[in-house]
Amino acid sequence: MFKKLRNRLILINLGITSVVIVIVFTAIYLFATNSANQRPPLPENRLEFYSEDFENVINITIKNEKQAAARDLLMMLIVSGVAIELVVAFISYFLAEEAIKPVREAYEAQKVFIANASHEIKTPLAAISANLEAADIKGNKWISNVEKETIKLTELNNELLTLARTDLMEKSALDEVDLGKLVEDDLKSFESRMANLKFKKEIDVHGKNKISASDFTQILGILMDNAIKYCDKKVGLSLTNHELTVSNDGVMISDKDLVHIFERFYQADKSSEGVGLGLSIAKTVAMRNGWDLTAESKNGLTSFKLKF
Protein backbone atom coordinates (compact mmCIF):
# COMPACT_ATOMS: atom_id res chain seq x y z
CA MET A 1 0.00 0.00 0.00
CA PHE A 2 2.73 2.45 0.98
CA LYS A 3 4.82 1.56 -2.07
CA LYS A 4 1.89 2.59 -4.24
CA LEU A 5 1.49 5.84 -2.30
CA ARG A 6 5.21 6.60 -2.57
CA ASN A 7 5.27 5.82 -6.29
CA ARG A 8 2.18 7.96 -6.86
CA LEU A 9 3.84 10.93 -5.14
CA ILE A 10 6.99 10.44 -7.23
CA LEU A 11 4.99 10.21 -10.47
CA ILE A 12 3.02 13.36 -9.65
CA ASN A 13 6.25 15.19 -8.91
CA LEU A 14 7.87 13.96 -12.12
CA GLY A 15 4.77 14.79 -14.15
CA ILE A 16 4.71 18.40 -12.96
CA THR A 17 8.47 18.72 -13.46
CA SER A 18 8.24 17.25 -16.98
CA VAL A 19 5.54 19.70 -18.03
CA VAL A 20 7.54 22.66 -16.70
CA ILE A 21 10.74 21.43 -18.41
CA VAL A 22 9.00 20.91 -21.76
CA ILE A 23 7.39 24.36 -21.68
CA VAL A 24 10.52 26.22 -20.57
CA PHE A 25 12.94 24.35 -22.85
CA THR A 26 10.59 24.68 -25.85
CA ALA A 27 10.40 28.43 -25.25
CA ILE A 28 14.22 28.63 -24.99
CA TYR A 29 14.69 26.60 -28.17
CA LEU A 30 12.17 28.64 -30.18
CA PHE A 31 13.57 31.92 -28.92
CA ALA A 32 17.19 30.90 -29.63
CA THR A 33 16.52 29.55 -33.13
CA ASN A 34 14.30 32.49 -34.02
CA SER A 35 16.96 34.96 -32.91
CA ALA A 36 19.59 33.12 -34.92
CA ASN A 37 17.44 33.34 -38.04
CA GLN A 38 17.17 37.12 -37.79
CA ARG A 39 20.51 37.82 -39.50
CA PRO A 40 20.31 41.23 -41.18
CA PRO A 41 21.13 41.36 -44.90
CA LEU A 42 24.42 42.78 -46.07
CA PRO A 43 24.35 46.58 -46.52
CA GLU A 44 23.56 47.57 -50.10
CA ASN A 45 26.52 49.92 -50.26
CA ARG A 46 28.81 46.91 -49.65
CA LEU A 47 27.18 44.46 -52.07
CA GLU A 48 29.40 45.79 -54.85
CA PHE A 49 32.40 44.21 -53.09
CA TYR A 50 30.85 40.74 -53.17
CA SER A 51 30.14 38.56 -56.15
CA GLU A 52 26.81 36.73 -56.35
CA ASP A 53 28.52 33.37 -55.88
CA PHE A 54 30.35 34.57 -52.80
CA GLU A 55 27.08 35.83 -51.31
CA ASN A 56 25.48 32.40 -51.90
CA VAL A 57 28.42 30.66 -50.24
CA ILE A 58 28.08 32.94 -47.22
CA ASN A 59 24.33 32.27 -46.98
CA ILE A 60 24.77 28.49 -47.25
CA THR A 61 27.54 28.52 -44.66
CA ILE A 62 25.46 30.57 -42.25
CA LYS A 63 22.46 28.30 -42.81
CA ASN A 64 24.52 25.18 -42.08
CA GLU A 65 25.97 26.77 -38.96
CA LYS A 66 22.49 27.72 -37.78
CA GLN A 67 21.25 24.15 -38.26
CA ALA A 68 24.27 22.72 -36.44
CA ALA A 69 23.80 25.21 -33.61
CA ALA A 70 20.08 24.32 -33.40
CA ARG A 71 20.92 20.60 -33.20
CA ASP A 72 23.52 21.21 -30.52
CA LEU A 73 21.07 23.37 -28.58
CA LEU A 74 18.35 20.72 -28.86
CA MET A 75 20.74 17.98 -27.68
CA MET A 76 21.88 20.12 -24.74
CA LEU A 77 18.28 20.79 -23.75
CA ILE A 78 17.38 17.07 -23.94
CA VAL A 79 20.41 16.00 -21.90
CA SER A 80 19.74 18.79 -19.37
CA GLY A 81 16.07 17.79 -19.14
CA VAL A 82 16.89 14.11 -18.53
CA ALA A 83 19.49 15.07 -15.92
CA ILE A 84 16.99 17.32 -14.15
CA GLU A 85 14.35 14.53 -14.23
CA LEU A 86 16.80 12.07 -12.67
CA VAL A 87 17.74 14.51 -9.93
CA VAL A 88 14.07 15.30 -9.26
CA ALA A 89 13.22 11.56 -9.18
CA PHE A 90 16.05 10.92 -6.71
CA ILE A 91 14.98 13.81 -4.46
CA SER A 92 11.28 12.91 -4.80
CA TYR A 93 11.94 9.35 -3.65
CA PHE A 94 13.46 10.48 -0.36
CA LEU A 95 10.90 13.25 0.16
CA ALA A 96 8.06 10.78 -0.48
CA GLU A 97 9.61 8.30 1.93
CA GLU A 98 9.86 10.97 4.61
CA ALA A 99 6.30 12.16 3.93
CA ILE A 100 4.72 8.72 4.34
CA LYS A 101 6.98 7.56 7.18
CA PRO A 102 4.70 8.82 10.01
CA VAL A 103 1.65 7.37 8.24
CA ARG A 104 3.39 4.01 7.80
CA GLU A 105 4.45 3.90 11.44
CA ALA A 106 0.94 4.77 12.61
CA TYR A 107 -0.53 2.14 10.29
CA GLU A 108 1.86 -0.55 11.49
CA ALA A 109 1.13 0.35 15.12
CA GLN A 110 -2.59 0.17 14.38
CA LYS A 111 -2.25 -3.32 12.89
CA VAL A 112 -0.28 -4.55 15.89
CA PHE A 113 -2.83 -3.01 18.26
CA ILE A 114 -5.76 -4.66 16.46
CA ALA A 115 -4.00 -8.02 16.50
CA ASN A 116 -3.15 -7.75 20.20
CA ALA A 117 -6.56 -6.38 21.19
CA SER A 118 -8.42 -9.06 19.23
CA HIS A 119 -6.27 -11.74 20.81
CA GLU A 120 -7.00 -10.39 24.31
CA ILE A 121 -10.73 -10.08 23.63
CA LYS A 122 -10.84 -13.68 22.44
CA THR A 123 -10.30 -15.09 25.95
CA PRO A 124 -13.22 -13.34 27.76
CA LEU A 125 -15.52 -14.06 24.81
CA ALA A 126 -14.67 -17.75 25.03
CA ALA A 127 -15.34 -17.61 28.79
CA ILE A 128 -18.74 -15.96 28.25
CA SER A 129 -19.72 -18.59 25.68
CA ALA A 130 -18.57 -21.42 27.93
CA ASN A 131 -20.51 -20.05 30.92
CA LEU A 132 -23.67 -19.61 28.83
CA GLU A 133 -23.42 -23.22 27.68
CA ALA A 134 -22.77 -24.40 31.26
CA ALA A 135 -25.75 -22.44 32.58
CA ASP A 136 -27.96 -24.46 30.18
CA ILE A 137 -30.87 -22.03 30.50
CA LYS A 138 -33.45 -22.80 27.83
CA GLY A 139 -36.45 -20.76 26.79
CA ASN A 140 -35.19 -17.46 28.20
CA LYS A 141 -35.24 -14.89 25.40
CA TRP A 142 -32.77 -12.62 27.23
CA ILE A 143 -30.24 -15.40 27.52
CA SER A 144 -30.88 -16.31 23.85
CA ASN A 145 -30.17 -12.69 22.86
CA VAL A 146 -26.92 -12.75 24.84
CA GLU A 147 -25.88 -16.00 23.15
CA LYS A 148 -26.72 -14.62 19.71
CA GLU A 149 -24.80 -11.38 20.24
CA THR A 150 -21.87 -13.27 21.77
CA ILE A 151 -21.64 -15.41 18.62
CA LYS A 152 -21.72 -12.30 16.42
CA LEU A 153 -19.07 -10.61 18.53
CA THR A 154 -16.89 -13.72 18.43
CA GLU A 155 -17.16 -13.86 14.62
CA LEU A 156 -16.31 -10.17 14.34
CA ASN A 157 -13.33 -10.55 16.65
CA ASN A 158 -12.08 -13.56 14.70
CA GLU A 159 -12.36 -11.62 11.43
CA LEU A 160 -10.47 -8.65 12.89
CA LEU A 161 -7.78 -10.98 14.18
CA THR A 162 -7.51 -12.69 10.79
CA LEU A 163 -7.33 -9.34 9.02
CA ALA A 164 -4.64 -8.03 11.35
CA ARG A 165 -2.58 -11.19 10.99
CA THR A 166 -3.00 -11.08 7.23
CA ASP A 167 -1.71 -7.49 7.12
CA LEU A 168 1.29 -8.40 9.27
CA MET A 169 2.24 -11.57 7.41
CA GLU A 170 4.53 -11.76 4.42
CA LYS A 171 3.79 -13.82 1.31
CA SER A 172 3.02 -17.41 2.29
CA ALA A 173 5.15 -20.41 1.36
CA LEU A 174 4.22 -22.23 -1.85
CA ASP A 175 3.13 -25.87 -2.02
CA GLU A 176 2.71 -28.36 -4.85
CA VAL A 177 -0.99 -29.18 -4.57
CA ASP A 178 -3.77 -30.84 -6.51
CA LEU A 179 -6.26 -27.97 -6.68
CA GLY A 180 -9.15 -30.23 -7.64
CA LYS A 181 -8.73 -32.42 -4.56
CA LEU A 182 -8.08 -29.38 -2.35
CA VAL A 183 -11.35 -27.77 -3.41
CA GLU A 184 -13.32 -31.01 -3.20
CA ASP A 185 -12.12 -31.54 0.37
CA ASP A 186 -12.88 -27.97 1.36
CA LEU A 187 -16.39 -28.07 -0.11
CA LYS A 188 -17.37 -30.88 2.26
CA SER A 189 -17.66 -28.38 5.11
CA PHE A 190 -20.39 -26.52 3.13
CA GLU A 191 -22.52 -29.54 2.22
CA SER A 192 -25.00 -29.13 5.09
CA ARG A 193 -25.52 -25.44 4.26
CA MET A 194 -26.17 -26.24 0.58
CA ALA A 195 -28.59 -29.12 1.22
CA ASN A 196 -31.56 -27.13 -0.14
CA LEU A 197 -29.65 -25.25 -2.83
CA LYS A 198 -28.81 -26.00 -6.44
CA PHE A 199 -25.04 -26.30 -6.54
CA LYS A 200 -23.31 -26.44 -9.93
CA LYS A 201 -19.65 -27.46 -9.83
CA GLU A 202 -17.23 -27.47 -12.76
CA ILE A 203 -13.66 -28.56 -12.01
CA ASP A 204 -11.20 -28.85 -14.89
CA VAL A 205 -7.73 -29.15 -13.34
CA HIS A 206 -4.76 -31.05 -14.73
CA GLY A 207 -1.62 -31.86 -12.77
CA LYS A 208 -0.53 -29.88 -9.74
CA ASN A 209 -0.19 -26.17 -9.02
CA LYS A 210 2.54 -24.45 -7.05
CA ILE A 211 0.47 -22.25 -4.81
CA SER A 212 -0.13 -21.22 -1.20
CA ALA A 213 -2.71 -23.85 -0.25
CA SER A 214 -3.68 -22.18 3.04
CA ASP A 215 -4.29 -18.79 1.40
CA PHE A 216 -6.21 -20.37 -1.47
CA THR A 217 -8.54 -22.30 0.85
CA GLN A 218 -9.05 -19.20 2.99
CA ILE A 219 -10.25 -17.23 -0.04
CA LEU A 220 -12.36 -20.17 -1.23
CA GLY A 221 -14.02 -20.40 2.17
CA ILE A 222 -14.82 -16.69 2.24
CA LEU A 223 -16.25 -16.71 -1.29
CA MET A 224 -18.34 -19.83 -0.68
CA ASP A 225 -19.66 -18.48 2.63
CA ASN A 226 -20.54 -15.20 0.92
CA ALA A 227 -22.26 -16.95 -2.01
CA ILE A 228 -24.36 -19.21 0.25
CA LYS A 229 -25.28 -16.35 2.56
CA TYR A 230 -26.59 -14.09 -0.21
CA CYS A 231 -27.92 -16.57 -2.77
CA ASP A 232 -31.55 -17.20 -3.65
CA LYS A 233 -31.45 -20.81 -4.86
CA LYS A 234 -28.28 -21.31 -6.87
CA VAL A 235 -24.56 -21.38 -6.11
CA GLY A 236 -21.91 -22.13 -8.71
CA LEU A 237 -18.21 -22.96 -8.63
CA SER A 238 -15.82 -23.18 -11.58
CA LEU A 239 -12.14 -24.11 -11.27
CA THR A 240 -9.26 -24.39 -13.73
CA ASN A 241 -5.50 -24.46 -13.14
CA HIS A 242 -5.33 -20.68 -12.95
CA GLU A 243 -8.83 -19.41 -12.21
CA LEU A 244 -11.53 -19.87 -9.56
CA THR A 245 -15.04 -18.47 -9.97
CA VAL A 246 -17.73 -18.58 -7.30
CA SER A 247 -21.19 -17.24 -8.16
CA ASN A 248 -24.71 -17.00 -6.77
CA ASP A 249 -28.15 -15.86 -7.95
CA GLY A 250 -28.97 -13.48 -5.10
CA VAL A 251 -29.87 -9.81 -5.29
CA MET A 252 -27.74 -8.00 -7.87
CA ILE A 253 -25.09 -5.59 -6.62
CA SER A 254 -25.28 -2.12 -8.15
CA ASP A 255 -22.26 -0.63 -9.96
CA LYS A 256 -22.10 2.01 -7.22
CA ASP A 257 -21.68 -0.67 -4.54
CA LEU A 258 -19.53 -2.97 -6.67
CA VAL A 259 -16.57 -0.55 -6.75
CA HIS A 260 -16.48 -0.60 -2.92
CA ILE A 261 -17.21 -4.29 -2.42
CA PHE A 262 -13.68 -5.14 -1.21
CA GLU A 263 -13.36 -2.21 1.19
CA ARG A 264 -13.22 -2.94 4.90
CA PHE A 265 -16.57 -2.77 6.71
CA TYR A 266 -18.41 -1.93 3.48
CA GLN A 267 -21.73 -3.72 3.01
CA ALA A 268 -23.87 -3.49 -0.10
CA ASP A 269 -26.71 -5.12 1.86
CA LYS A 270 -27.09 -2.97 4.97
CA SER A 271 -29.56 -5.45 6.50
CA SER A 272 -26.94 -8.21 6.53
CA GLU A 273 -25.74 -9.57 9.86
CA GLY A 274 -22.12 -9.49 8.71
CA VAL A 275 -19.69 -6.64 9.29
CA GLY A 276 -18.10 -6.39 5.84
CA LEU A 277 -14.68 -7.89 6.55
CA GLY A 278 -14.77 -11.23 4.72
CA LEU A 279 -14.27 -9.94 1.17
CA SER A 280 -11.70 -7.43 2.39
CA ILE A 281 -9.71 -10.28 3.93
CA ALA A 282 -9.98 -12.26 0.68
CA LYS A 283 -8.74 -9.27 -1.35
CA THR A 284 -5.83 -8.68 1.04
CA VAL A 285 -4.76 -12.33 0.89
CA ALA A 286 -5.03 -12.31 -2.92
CA MET A 287 -2.95 -9.15 -3.28
CA ARG A 288 -0.30 -10.52 -0.92
CA ASN A 289 0.15 -13.47 -3.29
CA GLY A 290 0.02 -11.39 -6.45
CA TRP A 291 -3.38 -12.82 -7.41
CA ASP A 292 -6.25 -10.84 -8.93
CA LEU A 293 -9.67 -10.99 -7.24
CA THR A 294 -12.54 -9.22 -9.04
CA ALA A 295 -16.32 -9.07 -8.78
CA GLU A 296 -19.15 -8.58 -11.24
CA SER A 297 -22.91 -8.63 -10.95
CA LYS A 298 -24.91 -9.02 -14.15
CA ASN A 299 -27.35 -11.29 -15.99
CA GLY A 300 -28.82 -12.52 -12.72
CA LEU A 301 -25.52 -13.69 -11.24
CA THR A 302 -23.00 -12.18 -8.84
CA SER A 303 -19.57 -13.69 -9.47
CA PHE A 304 -16.21 -13.44 -7.77
CA LYS A 305 -13.26 -14.42 -9.93
CA LEU A 306 -9.80 -15.25 -8.58
CA LYS A 307 -6.93 -15.43 -11.08
CA PHE A 308 -3.76 -16.96 -9.67
The rounded distance, in Å, linking the Cα atoms of 158 and 164 is 10
Q: Is 250 helix (H, G, I), strand (E, B) or coil?
A: coil
Give the Cα separation of 77 and 152 in Å (integer): 66
| Tens-place pLDDT, residues 13-36 | 777 777 877 887 777 777 766 655
pTM of the model: 0.58
Gap between the Cα atoms of 241 and 179, Å rounded = 7
Of 199, 295, 219, the closest CA to residue 253 belongs to 295
Q: Where are the domains of the chain?
A: 1-168, 175-307
Instruction: Identify the top-confidence range among 96-105, 230-239, 248-257.
Output: 230-239
CATH code for the part of the protein at 175-307: 3.30.565.10
Alpha carbon distance 259, 239 (integer Å): 24
Q: Quick one: angle between helices 179-187 and 213-230, nearest 10?
A: 40
Interior angle at CA 87, CA 85 and CA 88, nearest 5: 65
At 150 the pLDDT is 84
Residue 30 main-chain phi, psi, to 5 deg: -65, -40
Residue 228 CA to its chain's centroid (Å): 27
Q: Indicate the average pLDDT of the chain.
A: 80
